[in-house]
């Protein structure tokens, strides 16, 4: 059986979806596409254009007008995983700012917003040879994907990882505050928290990123046959 053309990775905030996606994309030679950056880009634009993210109609209207591009990192040497452009402006690192973190789930929960951005996500996914990472990717956005993962981890583990990530970039962090933010995100995202019925579930507590990727690759081989190491 040939390698699957589409792999999806879903799971709660901070579970390590992006890290797993990067590992799999690199091992398979696939495109890595973190679909959550589209919602972050929208949240960033809403803040900068004084659109209330809680206003469903206004936020959806903004989503329809934005030109959001997700590109390979290219020659950038600042540790980025990809480059995100909003109407031509590079906002890659702006998307991890705390003010964006606080409103991204608010903007993303509106059905009209998700409809707009899902269509753009599907267009990229349907090109094939892609690892797509994000919420409800396997259950709603790409339900026919041959391989689906649902990556989970405890709240404490997710808070610890997020703290390490922030500190590695030289930022200040309070693990209790981060834990509270993750719990808040989980509550906001609860309507899309369930894995697809045919997803392979991986609980990553206590595992290194390489060990998680090894587990995922073993599953992919069972589904698709022999693949690159």
Q: Which of the four pLDDT bands, split at 50, 70 and 90, describes residue 168?
A: confident
**pLDDT over 70 at 57, yes or no:** yes
**Averaged over 93-117, what is the pLDDT?**
93
Q: Structural domain of residue 140, as residue ranges?
A: 1-30+129-219
Question: Is residue 80 one of the residues assigned to a domain?
Answer: no
pLDDT, position 192 = 59
Residues 4, 224 contacting (CB under 8 angstroms): yes
The pLDDT of residue 69 is above 60: yes
What's the chain's average pLDDT?
Answer: 88
**Residues 148 and 136: beta-carbon distance below 8 Å:** no
Number of domains in the chain: 1
183: left (phi over 0), alpha (psi -120 to 50) or beta: alpha
Question: Is 85 within the bounds of a domain?
Answer: no
- Rounded to two decimals, the pTM is 0.77
Q: Is residue 208 part of a domain?
A: yes
Rounded distance between C-alpha atoms, residue 93 and residue 13, angstroms: 18
The stretch 42-48 carries a mean pLDDT of: 98
pLDDT at res. 83: 86
In a domain, 153, yes or no: yes
Q: Is residue 2 part of a domain?
A: yes
User: Quick one: pLDDT at residue 136?
Assistant: 83
- CA distance between the termini of the chain: 17
| pLDDT at 191 (0 to 100) | 62
- Domain membership of residue 95 (yes or no) is no
Q: Is 46:104 a contact under the CB 8 Å cutoff?
A: no
76 — pLDDT class (breaks 50, 70, 90):
confident
Going by C-alpha positions, the residue among 121, 128, 119, 122 that lies closest to residue 147 is 128
Q: What is the per-residue pLDDT for 67? A: 94
Reference 89, options 41, 154, 43, 129; nearest CA is: 41
Supply the pLDDT for residue 52: 98
Does residue 25 register a pLDDT over 70?
A: yes
Query: Which pLDDT value is given to residue 228?
Result: 52
Task: Provide the pLDDT confidence category of residue 88 given band limits of 50, 70 and 90.
Answer: very high
Listed in sequence order, the residues at least 6 apart from 24 whose beta carbon sits closer than 8 Å to its beta carbon are 7, 9, 30, 131, 213, 216, 217, 220
Q: Is residue 155 part of a domain?
A: yes
CATH number at residue 166: 3.40.50.300
Question: Does 212 map to a domain?
Answer: yes
């Amino acid at each position: 059986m040939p390698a699957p053309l589409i792999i999806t990775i879903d799971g709660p905030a901070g579970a390590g979806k992006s890290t797993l996606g990067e590992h799999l994309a690199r091992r398979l030679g696939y495109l890595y596409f973190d679909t959550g950056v589209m919602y972050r880009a929208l949240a960033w634009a809403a803040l900068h254009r004084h659109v209330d993210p809680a206003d469903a109609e206004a936020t959806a209207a903004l989503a329809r007008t934005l030109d959001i591009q997700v590109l390979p990192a290219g020659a950038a040497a600042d540790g980025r995983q990809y480059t995100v452009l909003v109407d031509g402006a590079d906002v890659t690192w702006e998307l991890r700012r705390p003010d964006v973190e606080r409103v991204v789930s608010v903007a993303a929960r509106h059905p009209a917003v998700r409809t707009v951005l899902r269509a753009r996500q599907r267009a990229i996914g349907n090109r094939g040879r892609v690892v797509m990472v994000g919420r409800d990717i396997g259950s709603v956005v790409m339900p026919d994907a041959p391989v689906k993962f649902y990556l989970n981890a405890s709240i404490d583990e997710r808070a610890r990882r997020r703290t390490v990530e922030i500190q590695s970039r030289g930022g200040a962090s309070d693990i209790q505050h981060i834990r509270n933010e993750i719990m808040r995100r989980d509550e906001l995202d609860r309507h899309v928290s369930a894995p697809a019925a045919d997803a392979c579930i991986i609980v990553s507590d206590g595992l290194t990123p390489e060990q998680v990727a090894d587990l995922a690759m073993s599953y992919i081989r069972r589904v698709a046959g022999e693949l690159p190491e």
